[in-house]
Structure formats: C-alpha cells, structure tokens
Structure 1
C-alpha cells in the first residue's frame, strides 16, 4: 500500500487521505487556505531533508526578512545536516538586512558545526 505524509504532523498516511487520521486536520483545506509562504515555513520542520531543502531554497527567493528566524531554527533543529545549514546561511544572506537577519546569524554562530559557525560569523561581520 502506498503512503504519503501529513503536511501538518508528518505522520505517514494513505495516499488520498483528506483528513489526517493522526492529527485530525483537513489536509486539503489547510493547503488551500494557508498562504504559500506559511506552508514553506511549516515545511522547514518536515522530517525529510529534501522537503526542507526545497523550502529553504524557495524562502531564499521569497526575500522576506521574517524568514531568517525560522530558517535559523531549521538549521538548529537538524544540527548534523551541515549541508542544509550551509544552504540556510546562503538563504539568509539573500534576505534584506535587519534585526531578523542579525538575530538568525547570531543564533547560527553557536551552531555545533564549525563550518556553520565560521560562515555565520563572517556573514554577521559583513552586516556590521
């Protein structure tokens, strides 16, 4: 039997499910009523790295300053995925300067991965 995942709670559910049997949410209504930007932010929590990466790249192109914090949170939530964290830094670098961007870079300057810490510090220095 084929399955896919609820976009809200990420439980494995049968293909074609309209209501998630785990969280009880109406999947189609949520996708129809939730703005694209908000769905991208939510996708940063997806357990599948390829879904998160797609959201990271899309958010970089959205160019909204308020995406910086959720992007940094994504990198912190999955600290072993250094490639993803570097993509997050590249996405944040493309966002407009401001307190959101500075805060996100500050958070990532404490990331467990050395490469991420160094890159975040360098990008933060450029803002100063």
Structure 2
C-alpha cells in the first residue's frame, strides 16, 4: 500500500506537470496531502510488521530491509510530507515560481528514492516468502 501510494503521488505529479494545465497541477497538489492520511499509516504498518516479523532473523535480505526502513521513514517525514504541504500552499495561492519548481524537484527526487527503497524491500520480502515456503 505504501509503495502504491507513493508511486501514485509521483506519477500524478509528473503527468500533471508534463501534460496538464496549471489547474490540473493545482488539483494534484491539493489532493496529495489528503493521501498522506493513507500513506503515513501504511508506512508505519510496513515498518512495524517488518520489524516484528524479522526481528530475530539474520538473513542478509532481512538485514537490508531493516537498514532501508529508517531511510524510508525519515525521507518521508522530513522531506516528502513537508514538501507536499508546502507545495499545496503554493499551488492554492497559484505561486508557480522558482520556489515551487525547486521544491517540486526535491519532492520528486525524494519520492523516487522511496519508490526504489520500497521496491527493493518488496522484492526481498517476496524472495524471503518463497524461500520460507520451500
């Protein structure tokens, strides 16, 4: 759920910026903060369940997943959430100046990082599942 939510935010932003009008960009930027109501609990649940299920495992994939989760969480809470809220404010006031686009680039880069890290965690989780089922 966390991966799908971040991916939908990221793709919505890229499509709105590249193909849409300013009204579409405003709509996307006003909507994304509402999606945080889904994303934040999904990330928390992902981290909690991962730590709980793999707490005593020493498998390299589990260790890698454990190392990625703090980066994902910090990136989300310190970069993505503030960027989403700030961009919403700029979009609502139709302030599409250089600050908007600088923060937008930061948000897209941070979002891409979380997409990559969550995808790696998802992949490793599937491999571990197959391994334990065998």
Give the TM-score of the pair, scaled to structure 2: 0.27
**Which one has more relative contact order, counting CA pairs under 8 Å at least 6 apart?**
2
Pick the structure with more strand per residue.
1
